[in-house]
Structure 1
């Protein structure tokens, strides 16, 4: 016996321009019938949260699937899979497509070369699928945008849930972030971890989806923006604070990557306040608010 619930959608061309659109959602459990062999023209993220089964590669080899696990179905690649005929499994899935899938694949969030991925905890991903299912109610005027936004969230949740990666990055990424403002070359960063530059590039791309240079640059420029917006430090001082001894090079790099010069960014975004900005991350469940006591009651 098994239970199946699913909905399918047809987003308009305008919605496709959002980058990702949801084409369908389903929740099933039990001794489900095998799927395929078949080939799709879109992506599917299938999360198995309980039970076990199998997945057949295009070459015909069967790989075991043991919950919790993620099965990637990608366009143009034949697939064939099924739950164990005796015990079954509990699955949920989201069908999606859009031009942003290429970028998510490049960043390592979608892995066509690894169709079966072990998960540490599927709860967050299942919660996102649940929101897609609730959005799928008949007559929802926000259906396409709401479900499309959820696909982005699902890809992040699945990346965090991977059993082979720490949710917030491995120790190498944490160390790079800690040392990001030191004027070190990629080779020097690699040597600090007993790695070759090639090994460091592989580790960072696997964990962050980009090169070490881009990973460090994102951290440096993010901090530079904060200093430009929240302080009156000269641009040269900001450059030194984030690891650049040559302020002219920093300005060129900032302008090329951000799209505006540091002085222009400061003019647009400056928010200097007495005492500076708070360094404490606000609690999302208890954000800073004006109290009911009137002006001056900020918390």
Structure 2
């Protein structure tokens, strides 16, 4: 197995030997990439590979927590330990070949037992394009620790996602986000169950209907619920449980994604795009666009076009 120092020399990023709290305690740390300018739709914000990691060992011992603003995947390639979060009463075991899925706003801690270490690769990501992947029994806060399998298979898949971004000056694109989506899809395929497959089918149909709606058509939740033979309230709850967000927010994010493409592929005014993208007015379009992407339509266009 190649050392992290050798991998850093070959692919980029930054390699360091970091000291811990205890005397003589060190770990090998390869910061593969870090980005402060991800695409508006979402992207990878940070990734690192660590050998002899103590992770959050001290927080576990002290009963302390950490909360992230975005998502994170922590794949343990060697060693083991435990995971805890505010949603579970008991600690969950973690072993080599497991991936820990961390979610925005959910306090957590994880790490190997006192005096022991593990090896890991982690990546952090955020954005609307990933929000739609949460739920559906896939990346589910109710099951934060999942079994993937041998490191020789999955470590390469993680590398395929993050190593292209390790080179100095590498600009992140939607294609990079697509590679992460493909990784998540591959992980999800390894842990599906018959019950979850039924949920996935329902969620897939529900989302497909919303995606197929013309932008100018108003979302009618009563009508959508009837298509599935249930009431409006039951439809709302099931959609949110399986898809991680409400059908109204899912629809809004899709309309914003369509508007993003129009903003960078033509010369239409923001007002025209707002009026013809299902938002009804330039004001509401601008407000909703900023809520979802964090910037105004005009700012998004300027950044995207350089």
What is the TM-score normalised by the length of structure 1?
0.51
Q: Which residue of 1 aligns with 2:80?
A: 52
Q: CA deviation at 1:68?
A: 1.2
Partner of 1:5 in structure 2? 30
List runs of 5+ in structure 2 lacking aligned partners.
1-25, 60-64, 210-306
Q: Where does residue 201 of structure 2 map in the other structure?
A: 210
CA RMSD of aligned residues (A): 2.9
SS at match of 1:92: strand
**TM-superposed deviation, 1:97:** 1.0
Distance apart, 1:213 and its partner CA: 9.2
Spell out, residue by residue over 1:256-284, the C-alpha distance to the aligned partner (whole angstroms, 9 max, x if none).
xxxxxxxxxxxxxxxxxxxxxxxxxxxxx
Q: 1:81 aligns with which of 105, 110, 121?
A: 110
Corresponding residue pairs, total: 175
1:147 aligns with 2:176: yes
Which residue among 12, 17, 28 is the counterpart of 2:50?
28
- Shift of residue 123, structure 1, vs aligned partner: 4.1
Q: Per the alignment, in what secondary structure is the counterpart of residue 153 of structure 1?
A: helix
Q: Identify the residue that residue 281 of structure 1 maps to in structure 2.
A: none
Work out the CA distance in 1 between the residues paired with 2:146 and 2:171.
32
Distance 1:109 1:33 in 2: 25
Q: Which residue of 1 aligns with 2:67?
A: 39
CA distance in 2, matches of 1:147, 1:72: 20
What is the alpha-carbon distance in structure 1 between the residues aligned to residue 101 and residue 147 of structure 2? Answer: 11
Distance apart, 1:64 and its partner CA: 1.8
Contact preservation (8 Å) 2:75, 2:99: yes
Match in the other structure for 1:16: 40
Matching of residues 87-102 of structure 1 within 5 Å:
87-102=116-131
The offset of 1:138, in angstroms, is: 4.0
Match of residue 158 from structure 1? 187
Asked if the contact 1:26–1:133 (Cα under 8 Å) also holds between the matched residues in 2, the reply is no
Q: Which has the larger radius of gyration?
A: 1
- What corresponds to 2:241 in structure 1? none
Contact 2:54 2:116 in 1 (8 A): no
Q: Is the 8 A contact 1:132 1:147 kept in 2?
A: yes
The 5 A counterparts of 1:191-230 are: 202-205=195-198, 209-211=200-202, 214=205
Structure 2 distance, partners of 1:155, 1:5, is 22
> Post-superposition shift, 1:69?
0.5
Other structure's SS at 1:44 match: strand
Asked whether the 8 Å contact 1:128–1:153 carries over to 2, the reply is no
Query: Any idea what SS the aligned residue of 1:106 has?
Result: coil
CA contact (8 A) 1:40 1:77 kept: yes
Asked whether the 8 Å contact 1:49–1:90 carries over to 2, the reply is: yes
Pairwise CA distance, 1:146: 4.5
Stretches of structure 1 lacking an aligned partner (at least 5 in a row)? 173-201, 219-299
Q: Please give the alpha-carbon distance, in whole angstroms, between the structure 2 residues aligned to 1:84 and 1:144.
A: 39
More helix by share: 2
3-state SS, counterpart of residue 3 of structure 1: strand
1: distance between equivalents of 2:133 and 2:107? 21
